[in-house]
Amino acid sequence: MLVVHHPDEARHDPEHVFRMGRFLPQPDRADRYRLFLSEACKHASEVVEAPLCGTEPLLTVHDAGYVEFLQTVWQRWRAIPDAGPEVVPSVHPTQRMHRKPKDLLGELGWYSNSTSCPIGEGTYASALASAASAVHAADRLMADGGPAYALCRPPGHHAYRDLMSGVCFFNNAAIAARRLSQAMGRVALIDIDVHHGNGTQDIFWSDSNVFFASLHVDPDFGPPYYAGYADETGGDEARGLNLNKPLPVGTDDRAYLAAFDEVLASVARFAPKAIVVSAGLDASAYDPVQTFRLSNEAFGEISGRLAATGLPVLLVQEGGYLSPNLAACLGAFLGGFGG
């Protein structure tokens, strides 16, 4: 297993998230990067520090104005007298509000949909390094055939073309899938994070070269809400190429793996040249989000079934939050590829 990462991914280290009327500890701490790297190295045939790639590959899925906003927002924020220690929006457009203003606070709300993406001094560098890891892992996958693990942090699957969302800034898996599909043709992107890959779904909604499938908690009962329903099947140009498997809170190994096998059958019918996996580990029974009840063995089963497809597989880290079990969960997942 090739492991690709970049140390700048630890520079983003937000303190809080605002939830249930309280400031709670932010789930995406920099320690996740160190923990994932330490565990992944035990399963690595090779560990590579990704070369930083600049913004060009990002612009294959992201809006140029959004990328420039993220590049410059910290400096703009620091220039505001009495600004807080982290960039956090306090206002958002919603239905019937369709104009982007020039003022920073208005623009910040335009490019985000909640307070879950606090921005600090190192955030842009981390988001860029995270995307660069996905880009380099994709390039190596095309050269070597994989499997490859892109240690991406912050994660990416909630990031839309022009929207930070759910602790995500750049959609690393989408950037990798777009890069692979431009070079190889058909690519499948399977999202196993417990939360719906809403940003990824939106990015590939009308792309007939990318089949997107997501297994996640039913959006009627869990975040990110608003999308991820089973009747969302793709735009006119890609009808049938978006597959959502909403599952109930408390889903266990058996029900999950049955749904996963259905996803793999659909992937096989699409006949992709490669598979990208949005590899969240927060469906684990031991994850702090406490949504599904998957054992570590189930993660080994998932990766074993991915390996059995015989296709080049690129794993892109998404969620999965600090707990005493997190390293073992990643170990079981990477171990499922058999060395």
* 222 belongs to the binding site for Zn ion (CB under 5 A): no
Q: Which is nearer to Zn ion, 57 or 197 (CB)?
A: 197
Q: Which is nearer to Zn ion, 208 or 325 (CB)?
A: 325
* 301 belongs to the binding site for Zn ion (CB under 5 A): no
| Active-site entry in 6, 12, 136, 158 | 158
* 280 belongs to the binding site for Zn ion (CB under 5 A): yes
The footprint of Zn ion on this chain (CB under 5 A) covers a number of residues equal to 5
Span interacting with Zn ion, options 90-98, 124-132, 217-225, 313-321, rule CB under 5 A: 313-321
* 13 belongs to the binding site for Zn ion (CB under 5 A): no
Span interacting with Zn ion, options 10-18, 52-60, 249-257, 272-280, rule CB under 5 A: 272-280
* 28 belongs to the binding site for Zn ion (CB under 5 A): no
Span interacting with Zn ion, options 18-26, 211-219, 246-254, 274-282, rule CB under 5 A: 274-282
Please tell me the distance from the alpha carbon of residue 308 to that of residue 236, in angstroms, as a whole number: 32
The nearest distance, CB 322 to Zn ion, in angstroms, is 13
* 224 belongs to the binding site for Zn ion (CB under 5 A): no
* 319 belongs to the binding site for Zn ion (CB under 5 A): yes
* 195 belongs to the binding site for Zn ion (CB under 5 A): yes
CA angle 230, 17, 62 (to 5 degrees): 55
Q: Which is nearer to Zn ion, 126 or 278 (CB)?
A: 278
158 is catalytic: yes
- Provide the annotated active-site residues: 158
Write out the residues near Zn ion by the rule CB under 5 A. 193, 195, 280, 282, 319
